[in-house]
């Protein structure tokens, strides 16, 4: 019997690549997005349901999960992929921008998890894959909002990993580095600060650094999708999956994967998980 994955943000980038990969490998796919017109490339396949899900709309989250279960009978894997980045000097950033960053990247993600958990608990199985970022374990200047949201995803995912282990539900984090997507376009918000001249030198330096970044070193979305597929299907208790040579190098300079896994193993032993 085919398994089913629900993907948020499936209209482009990593989400679309993941939805396509899982569908090509025989999975049922609930491909969700804010505008279903953007899912034309996925619609029409017998094993794909394209439906609306807006992380700022609680009713749409509940409806999308319900539609997926009604169509395919269960949701075995949730891929929380949808999100965006807000950058700029914190002092110059309106609270409305800050709240939206966390509403989408954190609270919408949590609400989607809450929506799938009743069915996963009932079947005593499931995998939740949260797409974090290399920026979930290290930071760049002017990224206090984005990094804050991704560090929140890292923390809640690690804690949830312990919480759901006794129910047969695994929680995974995928941490990509640079990816050739539209992250710098519609998935990116930058608050400039001309009225705060003290920050302008850093703003100018950051803008120049972004322009000079070589996209040749970035991953393609399908490469991240392969890492996601591995995380969803390897049957292990591993939490973190780094995606991309750049991310591996950056995080390797900051953390030891072996120490991370040893720490998690020790916590699981302490609590009998």
Helices 13-24 and 221-233, axial angle in degrees (round to 10): 60
Q: Would you say 225 and 9 are in contact if contact means Cβ atoms under 8 Å apart?
A: no
Active-site residue list: 132, 146, 150
């Amino acid at each position: 019997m085919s398994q089913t994955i629900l993907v948020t943000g499936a209209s482009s980038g990593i989400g679309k690549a993941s939805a396509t990969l899982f569908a090509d490998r025989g999975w049922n796919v609930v491909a969700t997005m804010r505008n279903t017109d953007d899912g034309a490339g996925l619609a029409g396949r017998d094993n794909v349901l394209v439906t609306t899900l807006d992380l700022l709309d609680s009713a749409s989250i509940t409806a999308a999960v319900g539609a997926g279960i009604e169509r395919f009978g269960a949701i075995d894997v949730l891929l929380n992929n949808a999100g965006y980045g807000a950058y700029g000097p914190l002092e110059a950033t309106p609270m409305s921008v800050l709240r939206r960053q966390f509403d989408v990247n954190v609270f919408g993600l949590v609400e989607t998890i809450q929506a799938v958990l009743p069915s996963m608990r009932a079947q005593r199985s499931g995998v939740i894959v949260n797409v974090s970022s290399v920026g979930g374990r290290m930071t760049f200047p002017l990224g206090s909002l984005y990094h804050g949201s991704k560090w929140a995803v890292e923390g809640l995912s690690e804690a949830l990993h312990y919480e759901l282990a006794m129910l047969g539900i695994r929680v995974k984090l995928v941490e990509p580095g640079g990816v050739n997507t539209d992250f710098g376009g519609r998935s990116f918000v930058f608050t400039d600060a001309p009225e705060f001249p003290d920050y302008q030198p850093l703003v100018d330096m950051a803008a120049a650094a972004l322009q000079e970044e070589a996209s040749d070193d970035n991953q393609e979305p399908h490469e991240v999708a392969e890492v996601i597929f591995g995380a969803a299907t390897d049957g292990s208790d591993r939490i973190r999956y780094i995606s991309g040579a750049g991310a591996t190098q950056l995080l390797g300079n900051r953390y030891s994967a072996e120490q991370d896994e040893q720490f998690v193993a020790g916590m699981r032993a302490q609590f009998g998980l």
